[in-house]
Structure 1
Amino acid sequence: MKIIQKISVFLYLAVLFCLNLSGMNPEDAFKWSCTMNESEFAVTVSVEKGFHLYENTTKVTLFSNGVELKPVRKPASISYEDKVFGKNNVYRGRSDFQWVFAIDRQKFPLELKLAWQGCSEATKDSEPVCFFPESREYTFSKLELTKSPVPLLKEKEAEIASGPADSNSEIPAFEIVRTESGYMASDMFLPFLKGEKSEMFLSFADKSFLLILILTFIGGIALNLTPCVLPMIPINLAIIGADAGKEHRLASMSKGLVYGLGIALAYGVLGLFVVLTGSSFGVIDSTWWFNAVVAVIFVLLGLSLFDVFMIDFSRYGSNFKMPSGAKIIGIFVMGVIAALLAGACVAPVVVAALLQASKMYNSGEHIGLILPFVLGIGMGLPWPVAAAGFSIMPKPGVWMKYVKYVFGVVIIIVGLYYAYTGIVIYTSLAESHKNIEKSMDSLVSALKESAKTKRLVFIDFRAEWCKNCKAMEKTTFKDPAVQNELKNFIVVEFDATDMANADIKKVLKKFDVSGLPTYVIARGK
């Protein structure tokens, strides 16, 4: 039970972190800039009073033609003890800290990589608050003499890194008419296309905060029925079902609670990150390596149920090894994995909760930041209940051997699916540039045509790893009524498979896309 207490304290601190975040912007606390002359390139960070950067996590790296340059001068740090990380060397404000590199005007481009993490300092009225670690990359294609420091602003990052944008790829002016996200059946999707009023659960506007909490919680429970979570149910049952029939109901519930806690914490932190950074849900699911790791884990767990080899799992009747055992931390980690996999599916309730959290946070109501955690708590709630049900199962017998094999087959199939997804993503990255160029050209052309003809543009933001996207392709988009209604639009299928790409990030941000699939109806101006 000690491990449960520790995890609970960690969850409490995470929520406390959200509630105490007082609107401070990292860009105001830590201001980065650079200067350049014919022989030197200097990077400066101005740390405001009451803040500090940690020396061990602050990295300033410069490459010239791919070769890393060593700084000729580095700033000095001081020893400082705070309540968050204890005693460390820090760059403490109010002061400027500078890294200077010797450069050769004949050896361009220069590539600059920055990474840092900082915290505020405790005062008599407030506790210290730490920002998320940040990193940025910039490319300087040629020597540009500067008379004064040039700010390295986040909104300029993509432009600096990419250079001047091709005029043919500039997104024309537009206005968003309406937008939707997640899987939608035909009877819900058609009213959206037609612009008719729908009773769908899309917005929390004009609702009390208590009602918002209740709806978010119920929506979190419903997330267990999304295509991303449904395949996990046999795995979840296998994990929390270890030792069923042999242990007390309270012990079974404790395992389910730890599993649900892993889901709640991971899903909450994932949502919190989306709200605070403006990034999109499902970014980690869009990487081939994440899908590959999940595939390996699931295949190994499945093979262990066929006794191909033994992992250190607990006994379940006659040599029945389950993928959790008495290892409470293992159950917690599997809950975290389940939440990360669920991030690839964006339901309307997720978008509604994230938009409401962002709106409340930006208006100074920081209590809204608990909404992603409420979603996660709702998603994790069924599993302690399910675990309690396992405790009254019949005693293990021969029949459990066949249950074990069924679980093993399902888990291996799920693992192979994620292996296939990882391969598809990896191969698609080889043609990433071509796909991005095609999507951008289609989007630009559609918006220009819309401005001339006044026809609306329907943009389908999708990805190869997006399960709800695949489900929409097989059902809703095959409905003759939907196909007929789409003829009234200029249709654009925007491939956002590589969500780490700077150009895709820019487009997703421009159209307020917080997850996939997202459907935007826009009008060119």
Structure 2
Amino acid sequence: MKRILTILLLTLTSLQASASFSFLKQEPQVLPVDQAYTFDFAQQDNQLQLSWKMAGKDYYLYQEKFELAIDGEAVVGEIRYPQPENHFDDWFGDQPVYFDQVTLTVPILESSKDATITVTYQGCLDGILCYPPTRETIYLSEVAANDGVLPDAPAQTGPQTQQDGLASMLASDSLVLPLLTLFGLGILLAFTPCVFPMYPILTSIIGGQGNKLSTGKAFALSMTYVQGMALTYTLLGLVVASAGMKYQAALQSPAVLIGLAVLFVVLSLSMFGVYNLQLPSSLQNRLNNAQNQQKGGSFVGVFVMGLISGLVASPCTTAPLTGVLLYVAQSGDLVLGGAALYALSMGMGLPLLLLGTSGGKLLPRAGAWMETIKHVFGFLMIAVALMMLDRLYAGLVLDLLWALWGITLAGYLLLANKRTQFNWLKVSRTVVLGLALLGSVSYGMQAVMNRDAVNPAHDLAFVHIKTLADLEREVAKANAEGKAVMLDLYADWCVACKEFEHKTFPQPNVRERTDTMVMLQADVTRNDAEDIELLEAFDVLGLPTLLFFSADGEELSQLRVTGFMAAQPFANHLDQVLKL
């Protein structure tokens, strides 16, 4: 009777509130149960994790309503619960509940591969309604008989990495701060090696528009290019987060990189006057009328070039990018993840936008210098092609190509400078270009002389592995010696991987710590079936990724590093690894 009176009282109260000034009060949105509580699970060996993420701050789940039912040959232990909150509601009184998110850990004592677990849960929208009990079914992986003892979860003791912090920030109620933060981090990423090739691409587009380029059109072309780049970067990030790392790696395969290099060489030929890149005249005239007498197809072509250029930056895995990918992979929220990736992309595109817009003012409008600058942009596009190939064929051949590129560019500029009026500027240019020519020649000679020299950055105590079986064998061997393990997932197309090798790993403060560990490296450049199996086994979202294993053989997932880290921060990070 008391329960009925309570329900009636709540109903009358809600009716009264809705009848008076209801437009001043925003009630929480009532969602279907599968949207109110996003369910996920993961099994690793004899440990099953069941996770729920609530859709808002007013949704919660009851600790005492979780139940497990087994179908098939399987035995499980007691559920391991995190610390709940005590909450009073009008339905069940004082109850231990979970807000925001919760992860339960279930020991699997034994399981056949066709066994299933059905988990039942129940929750409420505070002060509005309670959902009926809901069930989810999980298919278990095969587990041999064991004692069911699980290691203490180290996530409570380890520090939060930058990418994990960004993923948590995206999961917060406020969206303005995360998006502004990612926009600002994108501006910083605009000055990294992966974004650098976009500058000559954009300047060549602006420079190839002719003599009558207004500031307004320069801005419009630059914005079109940046939007194309942002779209590719955003969609690619969502694909990687949703479908796995192998798609990102596939885009950096030799066929794709060589194809892009050839494309940029072909485009550079138009800068040298070999051909004129334009649409057929009939279609060009139609576009002229549709685009207010703009040059036919220019905006469409610039947008397509922006789409292609987004692939140039795709191998750059940084903490901000990985934080967004982690959030998308864990939550499945493609809308917020896409908005975050777009904010990051637009931050990366802001300097490009400023450069392209100013190009309308800074580029000469007429005369021989305009033709010279157009040819220089052709050289810059060839440089982009060499950067593509550098991910595949780093070594003597690429060094000689770079030297030849420098010699040709310096020689061309010296000839162009020779035709200018004699003054102190001409003398200064001659000196600078002469030094550049000598430097290019010296670079090529040094590459030939040092072709057999050993790169000290690669002279590290890495044990090279290929498969999951190799990893398990080396980790077991290290455990027998009581040593922790670091696994470096490396690829030739990964710029930040090479930064780790040249700038971080060789430093004394880092070597002092890695000398006490077993250092493994897996080269996944080929992206073959064994590489994909290794990457997917650890849900790797991008490279570089460094995995750490304790002296007991457990992966310290909370200490995983994704993206470049300088020597001192990395040394501090290793201290945390060695403590566990």
- For normalisation by structure 1, the TM-score amounts to 0.54
Alignment partners' CA distance in 1, 2:203 and 2:248? 24
Q: Which has the larger radius of gyration?
A: 2
| Aligned equivalents of 1:199, 1:513: Cα separation in 2 | 15
Offset at residue 502 of structure 1 (A): 3.2
Among 338, 361, 364, the alignment partner of 2:309 is 338
After TM superposition, list the pairs within 5 Å mapping 1:394-473 onto structure 2. Answer: 394-419=364-389, 421-422=391-392, 438=466, 440=468, 442-473=470-501
1:168 is matched with which residue?
A: none
Please state if 1:392 is matched with 2:361: yes
Preserved contact between residue 202 and residue 349 of structure 1 (Cα < 8 Å): no
Q: Name the counterpart of 1:505.
A: 532
Give unpaired runs (5+ residues) of structure 1. 1-21, 25-154, 165-172, 179-194, 315-323, 426-434
**2:204/2:378 contact within 8 Å kept:** no
Distance 1:355 1:201, change over 3 A: closer
Secondary structure of the equivalent of 1:519? strand
Aligned to 1:203: 165
Root-mean-square deviation (Å): 3.8
Call closer, same or farther: CA 1:458–1:439 in 2, change over 3 Å: same
- Give 1:12-411 correspondences, 5 Å limit: 203-204=165-166, 205=168, 208-243=174-209, 246-279=212-245, 282-312=248-278, 326-359=297-330, 361-362=331-332, 367-393=336-362, 394-411=364-381
d(CA) in 2 for partners of 1:174, 1:411: 54
CA distance 1:521–1:252, shift in 2 (3 Å): same
Deviations 1:411-457 (A, max 9, x none): 213313424545689xxxxxxxxx99745454223211233333211
CA contact under 8 A between 2:201 and 2:381: conserved in structure 1? Answer: yes
Distance in structure 1 (CA, Å) of the matches to 2:342 and 2:246:
17
Q: 5+ residue gaps in structure 2?
A: 1-33, 37-137, 143-149, 281-294, 396-462, 555-580
Select the structure that is richer in helix.
Answer: 2
1:221–1:240 distance in 2 versus 1, CA, 3 Å: farther
Aligned residues: 324
Structure 2 CA distance, aligned partners of 1:406 and 1:478? 37
**3-state SS of paired residue (1:418):** helix
1 CA distance for matches of 2:464 and 2:513?
A: 27
- Structure 1 residues 296 and 391 mapped into 2: Cα distance closer, same or farther (>3 Å)? same
Q: What is aligned with 1:15?
A: none
Deviation at 1:198, TM superposition (A): 9.1
User: What are the superposed Cα offsets for residues 274-327 of structure 1, whole Å, 9 maximum, x if unpaired?
Assistant: 22224357323331110111111111222332334443399xxxxxxxxx9852
Relative contact order, higher structure (CA 8 A, sep 6+): 1
Matched, 1:517 2:544: yes
Contact 1:176 1:522 in 2 (8 A): no
Contact 2:237 2:341 in 1 (8 A): yes
Hey, what's the Cα distance between the residues in 1 that align with 2:189 and 2:256?
A: 21
| 1:516 to partner: Cα distance | 0.8
Q: Distance in 1 between matches of 2:221 and 2:206?
A: 6
In the alignment, the residues of structure 2 paired with residue 254 and residue 413 of structure 1 have an alpha-carbon distance, to the nearest angstrom, of: 26
CA distance in 2, matches of 1:355, 1:230: 26
Deviations along 1:152-171, whole A, 9 cap, x unmatched?
xxx99xx9xxxx9xxxxxxx
Q: Aligned pair in 2 of structure 1 residues 443, 325: CA closer, same or farther (>3 Å)?
A: farther
> SS state of the match for residue 203, structure 1?
helix
Residue 460 of structure 1: CA displacement? 0.6
Q: CA deviation at 1:176?
A: 10
Structure 2 vs 1, CA of residues 395 and 470 (structure 1 numbering), >3 Å: closer, same or farther? Answer: same
Distance 1:376 1:443 in 2: 36
3-state DSSP of counterpart to 2:520? strand
Q: How many angstroms apart in 1 are the aligned matches of 2:539 and 2:467?
A: 17
Equivalent residues of 1:265, 1:373 under 8 A apart: yes
Distance 1:346 1:367, change over 3 A: closer
- Contact 2:207 2:377 (8 Å CA) reproduced: no
Counterpart check, 1:475 vs 2:445: no
SS in 2 for 1:520: strand
The residue type equivalent to 2:509 in the other structure is: A
Tell me the CA shift for residue 333 of structure 1.
1.3
Structure 2 distance, partners of 1:231, 1:307, is 22
- Residue 498 of structure 2: SS of its match in structure 1? helix
> Percent identity of the aligned residues?
29
The answer to whether the Cα contact below 8 Å between 2:202 and 2:356 also exists between their aligned partners in 1 is no
SS in 1 for 2:315: coil
The C-alpha deviation readout for 1:252-286, integer Å capped at 9, x for no partner, is 21111110110111111111112222435732333
Could you tell which deviates more after superposition, 382-391 or 202-211?
202-211
